[in-house]
Amino acid sequence: MNKFTSSMLAGAVAIAALTGASVAADNPMVGGAEMYADKNIVENAVNSQDHTTLVAAVKAAGLVETLSGEGPFTVFAPTNAAFEALPEGTVETLLKPENKDQLTKILTCHVVGTEAMSDAIGKMIADDNGDHPVTTLGGCELSAKMDGDNITLTDENGNVATVTIADVDQSNGVIHVIDAVLLPKQ
């Protein structure tokens, strides 16, 4: 191989490596794991160290197949810290087989049957004079508002969750990481 061909090949390899690095950089990190737009919600969530409680709950509720399905879904995904903020023993109680219906209701109160990126949610909030109603697949009515640049969601009990990581694109929708667990009306 002559010097020119060798230099061209090295340049092509370098460009390919840089292109690959820039593509990888476009995948957001959640819970120490890269989230890939070509994987579904469950395939990505299982890799997030910040969502082990949510993943365990999704499995206990029998929602893995649903959230691996075609969608589209918008999932407001509470972190482990959000679950830990619930009263002591709540998570353990909800994970028991006899509480599957209640757990399913809570989890589906975090899921909307469409793909809504943050800019679209922000526009809906603005179009509704600062307070956009969001009906979830679990039948919960959330109130989406802006708090500065952050989207907040208020459940029917007045609990407020803030979107801490927005627009985590998935093959079957989008995940928005939130800092609180939203609950059905009690």
Same domain, 10 and 94: no
Tens-place pLDDT, residues 12-24: 333 333 334 333 4
Torsion region of 112: left, alpha or beta (phi above 0 gives left; psi -120 to 50 gives alpha):
beta
Tens-place pLDDT, residues 128-185: 999 999 999 999 999 999 999 999 999 999 999 999 999 999 999 999 999 999 999 9
The total number of structural domains in the chain stands at 2
Sheet containing 173-178, strands listed edge to edge, beginning at the edge strand earlier in sequence: 111-112, 73-78, 173-178, 160-170, 150-154, 141-147, 132-135
Question: How far apart are alpha carbons 132 and 16 in whole angstroms?
Answer: 44
| pTM (predicted TM-score) | 0.84
Same domain, 6 and 67: no
Same domain, 12 and 68: no
**150 occurs within a structural domain:** yes
**186 occurs within a structural domain:** no
Same domain, 61 and 72: yes
Is residue 25 over pLDDT 50? no
Q: What pLDDT does 10 receive?
A: 37
Tens-place pLDDT, residues 27-51: 788 877 788 789 888 988 888 888 9
Same domain, 11 and 79: no
Residue 154, helix vs strand vs coil: strand
- Domain range enclosing 5: 1-29
Same domain, 109 and 36: yes
Q: What pLDDT does 31 receive?
A: 79
3-class DSSP string for 87-140 = CCCHHHHHCCHHHHHHHHHHHHCCEECCCCCHHHHHHHHHHCCCCEEEECCCCC
Q: Which residues of 85-105 are buried (b: 16+ CB within 10 A; e: fewer)?
A: ebeeeebeebbeeeeeeebbb
Tens-place pLDDT, residues 59-98: 999 999 999 999 999 999 999 999 999 999 999 999 999 9
**184 occurs within a structural domain:** no
Q: What pLDDT does 33 receive?
A: 77
Q: Which residues, including other chains, have CB under 8 Å from residue 143's CB and lie 6 or more apart?
A: 131, 132, 133, 134, 153, 154
